């Protein structure tokens, strides 16, 4: 007799991880579960492959990544269909997600040599007889652990940066999206068939934990704050460095001179796309009093048109439905009003768009990550109050500001790693911008120059080119030479400016 399965809930059967569509329950993927020995073997193979991958140099690796990028573009519909099946997100959303991943792969390929290539440093008067060199060396093997909500974009950011820096990668996809993860690894192997430069290991959370303890040289984790702490704890045992991309509770501020209609459109997109299952999704809006009513009316009109099952897919992780229901119920029980959706919004496997106003600032819907298509809108007196409220949560991932005269100034005051001005989420699609948070949203960066440096360790080399004018780093120095050093120091650094 076959047990009844919840659509979307992955299960393990005879050592095989089976993922299913959250919309229909149809099987999406069937991948062998890796035990600790298999994880260790993958890391060993990655280490063996690493010398060859490094020997290709920046140009050789760039050529491979550009070919992989082209393959991703050529087969983007296939990738989007698989992502739709495994996560439930609309195919169009999967294509948009893939396009951002493709941009980052291209950007890392084209910029790694500039950012990580050998450079000489400027010689200064002290130790002027030395030349300085900096080289950026790959760590070796990087473990990438990814979530299910953006199963293409979230692993490809760190993976393309790590690969271009010269590392090999062992990737643990979420148990909800192993088929998408394996698809990415298989297509990479079509372009790089010689050695296992990018591998996947599948299974539940314990496989991620095994990867942290496998001797990898760095871990790039994307997922919840709670799991990020476990990853950091496991990595602490071996002082394995980590980059942690964790949860968020992003706010949008609407200032008095904002284009209200554009702000409403972006608020609805930023909060409801991917059914709100977006780490940088807008979950709160603070609108200043003069535009509040117009803004709320525009959001209600736009969100009210969205259709569950068409614009919004199901909630990928069935367990999240209870959290979303709890946040909505709690908001309503404490004086909040639903202008769209509300008490009956949770309709498994999905959630109807929900717009809440008058929700107390200390309620779960305002303070905790909801990860559903819900939005709270709060009236504030001015931008100062908006900034104070936006910053009053422990998360600090992204944010957005709509306005004209002061929008960038307001953006700079947000306690967040990234802020979009007059748009939402846009920073994640720009190859040149670093991505990452502060506070409970984690630390370290992927994407951009900083994201490339995250996957390389700098090595400094000083090369002595001649005799020292002030030879003090020797036991053979004289008291007169120390006096001369003091004179030189006074000359160079003894004044205030």
Footprint on this chain of ligand NDP (rule: CB under 6 A): 145-150, 154, 172, 174-176, 204-205, 208-209, 212, 222-224, 227, 230-231, 245-248, 279, 317, 369, 397, 437, 441
Strand partners, 202: 33
Q: Nearest approach, Cβ of 250 to ligand NDP (angstroms)?
A: 10
Q: At what angle are helices 57-74 and 91-116 packed, to 10 degrees?
A: 170
Q: At what angle are helices 36-55 and 57-74 packed, to 10 degrees?
A: 120
Beta strand 395-396 pairing with 119-121: unpaired
Give the whole-angstrom CA distance, residue 373 versus residue 357.
14
Q: Nearest approach, Cβ of 225 to ligand NDP (angstroms)?
A: 7
Residue whose Cβ sits closest to ligand NDP? 208
- Contact call for residues 430 and 140 (beta carbons, < 8 A): no
Give the whole-angstrom CA distance, residue 348 versus residue 359.
24
Q: Nearest approach, Cβ of 459 to ligand NDP (angstroms)?
A: 29
Contacts of 257 (CB under 8 A, 6+ apart): 403, 404, 405, 406
- Contact call for residues 185 and 32 (beta carbons, < 8 A): no
Q: Nearest approach, Cβ of 441 to ligand NDP (angstroms)?
A: 6
349 upstream amide cis, omega within 30 of 0: yes
Active site residues: 245, 279
Q: In terms of Cα–Cα distance, which of 133, 152, 173 is closest to 10?
A: 173
Q: Nearest approach, Cβ of 430 to ligand NDP (angstroms)?
A: 15
Please say which residue, 19 or 422, places its beta carbon nearer to ligand NDP. Answer: 19
Give the whole-angstrom CA distance, residue 115 versus residue 385.
40
Please say which residue, 53 or 427, places its beta carbon nearer to ligand NDP. Answer: 427
């Amino acid at each position: 007799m076959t047990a009844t399965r919840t659509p979307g809930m992955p299960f393990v059967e005879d050592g095989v991880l089976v993922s299913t569509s959250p919309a229909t329950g149809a099987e999406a993927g069937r991948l062998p579960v890796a035990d600790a020995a298999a994880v260790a073997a993958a890391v060993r193979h990655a280490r063996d492959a690493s010398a060859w991958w490094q020997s290709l140099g920046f140009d050789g690796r760039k050529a491979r990544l550009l070919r992989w990028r082209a393959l991703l573009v050529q087969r983007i519909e296939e990738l989007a269909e698989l992502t739709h099946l495994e996560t439930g997100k609309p195919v169009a959303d999967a294509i948009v997600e893939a396009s951002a991943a493709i941009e980052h792969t291209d950007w890392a390929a084209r910029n790694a040599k500039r950012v990580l290539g050998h450079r000489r440093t400027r010689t200064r008067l002290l130790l002027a007889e030395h030349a300085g060199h900096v080289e950026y060396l790959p760590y070796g093997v990087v473990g990438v652990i990814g979530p299910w909500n953006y199963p293409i974009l979230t692993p490809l950011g760190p993976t393309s940066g790590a690969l271009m820096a010269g590392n090999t990668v062992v990737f643990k996809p979420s148990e909800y999206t192993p088929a998408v993860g394996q698809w990415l690894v298989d297509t990479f192997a079509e372009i790089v068939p010689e050695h296992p430069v990018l591998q996947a290991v599948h299974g539940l959370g314990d496989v991620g934990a095994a990867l942290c303890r496998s001797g990898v040289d760095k871990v790039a984790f994307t997922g919840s704050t709670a799991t990020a702490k476990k990853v950091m704890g496991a990595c602490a045992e071996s002082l394995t460095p980590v980059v942690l991309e964790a949860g968020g509770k992003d706010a949008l501020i609407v200032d008095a001179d904002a284009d209200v209609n554009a702000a409403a459109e972006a608020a609805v997109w930023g909060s409801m796309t991917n059914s709100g299952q977006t780490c940088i999704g807008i979950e709160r809006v603070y609108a200043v009093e003069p535009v509040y009513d117009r803004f709320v009316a525009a959001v209600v009109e736009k969100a009210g048109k969205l259709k569950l099952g068409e614009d919004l897919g199901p909630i990928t992780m069935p367990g999240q439905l209870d959290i979303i229901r709890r946040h909505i119920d709690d908001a309503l029980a404490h004086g909040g009003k639903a202008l769209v959706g509300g008490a009956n919004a949770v309709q498994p496997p999905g959630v109807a768009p929900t717009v809440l106003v008058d929700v107390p600032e200390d309620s779960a819907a305002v303070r905790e990550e909801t990860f559903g298509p819900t939005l709270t809108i709060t009236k504030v007196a001015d931008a100062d109050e908006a900034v104070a409220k936006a910053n009053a949560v422990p998360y600090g991932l992204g944010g957005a500001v709509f306005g004209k005269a002061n929008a960038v100034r307001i953006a700079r005051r947000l306690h967040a790693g990234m802020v979009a001005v007059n748009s939402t989420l846009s920073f994640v699609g720009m190859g040149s911008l670093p991505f990452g948070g502060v506070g409970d949203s984690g630390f370290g960066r992927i994407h951009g120059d900083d994201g490339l440096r995250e996957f390389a360790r700098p090595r400094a080399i000083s090369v002595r080119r001649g005799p020292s004018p002030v030879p003090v780093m020797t036991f053979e120095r004289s008291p007169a030479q120390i006096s001369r050093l003091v004179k030189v120091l006074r000359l160079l650094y003894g004044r205030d400016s």
